[in-house]
Amino acid sequence: MDYVKFKDRGMTCDLQYFGETAVLTIVCADYRIDIYGPSTIGAVYTGGRLDTVIDAMPRPGANVSDLFAGVTMGISPKYTEPVIAALKRADKMPGGIYG
């Protein structure tokens, strides 16, 4: 993924639960990224891709409580750099971002 296109752009984030799986959907610069992890996200830290990206969401730039409550969350362009860095780290994990 070419994350250079994400620089200086806002993001929308949505967290959905499907049984034992949670899916974080990030939309930025006409790209959609789905990051999968356990549905225990927020309660049990596993250090996986989903934890990595959610932990990188800056406060006050992102209200993670809203995300966990099912609210689609927007992140202003001035707060997206840590999320982009986390997406790059997640890409390097075994299986890549979608693993």
* Overall pTM surpassing 0.85 (yes/no): yes
Half-sphere exposure of 56 (CA within 13 A, CB side): 20
The pLDDT assigned to 73 comes to 94
Domain ranges of the chain: 3-91
**Structure-model confidence comparison of residues 72 and 4, the more confident one:** 72
Q: Does the pLDDT value for residue 95 go beyond 90? A: no
Token pair for 58 = 């800056």
The pLDDT assigned to 2 comes to 79
Q: Mind listing the pLDDT tens digit for each residue in 35-92?
A: 999 999 888 888 889 999 999 998 888 889 899 999 999 999 999 999 999 999 988 8
The pLDDT assigned to 28 comes to 93
